[in-house]
Chain A
Amino acid sequence: MPASDFILNDFTISDNTPVETHTLAVLVDNDPGVLARVIGLFSGRGYNIESLTVSATEQEKLLSRITIVTCGVPHVINQIRYQLERIVPVHCVVDLHVRARELGQDKPIQRELALVKVLAKGINRVDALRLAEAFNAKMVDATVEHFIFEVTGNSSKLDQFVSLMRPIGIVEICRTGVAAVNRGSKGM
Chain B
Amino acid sequence: MKYDHTAAQPVYGREMSGAAIVVQALIDQGVKHIFGYPGGAVLPIFDEIYQQEKLQHILVRHEQAAGHAAEGYARATGKVGVLLVTSGPGATNAVTPLQDALIDSVPILCISGQVPTTLIGSDAFQEADTVGITRPCTKHNWLVKNVNDLSRIIHEAFHVARTGRPGPVLIDIPKDIQLASGFYVEPKFVSMGYRPQLVGETRAIDYAVDLLCAAKKPVIYSGGGVINSGAHAVRLLRELVHIGDFPITSTLMGLGAYPANGKNWLGMLGMHGTYEANMTMHDCDIMLAVGARFDDRITGCLDAFSPDAKIIHIDIDPSSINKNVRVNVPIVGDVAYVLEAMMYRLRGISSMQEPSARESWWQQINKWRERKSLAYHQKTNVIMPQYAIERLYTLTKKYNPYLTTEVGQHQMWTAQFFGFDEPCHWMTSGGLGTMGYGFPAAIGVQIARPDDLVICVAGDASIQMNIQELSTAIQHRARVKVFIMNNQYMGMVRQWQQLLYGNRLSHSYVEAMPDFVKLAEAYGAIGIQCTKPGELDDCIREMVACDKPVLFDCRVVNLENCFPMIPSGRAHNEMLLADEVTDDVMENAIDANDRSLV
Binding site for B on A (CB under 8 A): 1, 3-4, 6, 8, 11-12, 15, 33, 36-37, 40, 44, 75, 78-79, 82-83, 85-89
Contact = CB atoms under 8 A, between A and B. Distances in A.
B108 to A, nearest CB: 16
B280 to A, nearest CB: 20
Interface stretch (B86-94, B129-137, B236-244): B129-137
B135 A86 contact: no
Given A33-B135, A44-B136, A86 B329 contact: no
Given A1-B207, A6-B207, A88-B139, A75 B160 contact: no
21 contacts: A1-B207, A3-B211, A3-B310, A3-B328, A3-B329, A6-B207, A8-B203, A8-B204, A11-B327, A11-B330, A33-B135, A33-B141, A36-B132, A36-B135, A40-B135, A44-B136, A79-B322, A85-B319, A86-B165, A86-B319, A88-B194
A42 to B, nearest CB: 11
A109 B184 CA distance: 47
Given A85-B319, A86-B319, A8 B139 contact: no
Given A6-B207, A37-B135, A88 B160 contact: yes
Contacts of A85: 318-319
Interface residues of B, number: 28
A74 to B, nearest CB: 11
B442 interface: no
Contacts of A1: 207
Nearest to A83: B319
B265 to A, nearest CB: 28
Interface in B131-150: 131-132, 135-136, 139-141, 143
Contact of A88 (B136, B140, B318): B140
Nearest to B207: A6
A6 B207 CA distance: 9
A82 B318 CA distance: 6
B136 A6 contact: no
A112 B317 CA distance: 34
Contacts of B136: 40, 44
Contacts of B201: 8
Contacts of B204: 8
Given A33-B131, A40-B136, A88-B160, A6 B328 contact: yes
B317 A86 contact: yes
A178 B207 CA distance: 41
A79 B324 CA distance: 10
A11 B322 contact: yes
A44 B328 CA distance: 28
Nearest to B160: A88
B472 to A, nearest CB: 32
B372 interface: no
Interface string B35-76: 000000000000000000000000000000000000000000
Nearest to A86: B319
A43 to B, nearest CB: 9
Nearest to A91: B193
A87 B136 CA distance: 10
Task: Report which residue of A1, A79, A88 has the largest number of chain B beta carbons within 10 angstroms of its beta carbon.
Answer: A88
B595 interface: no
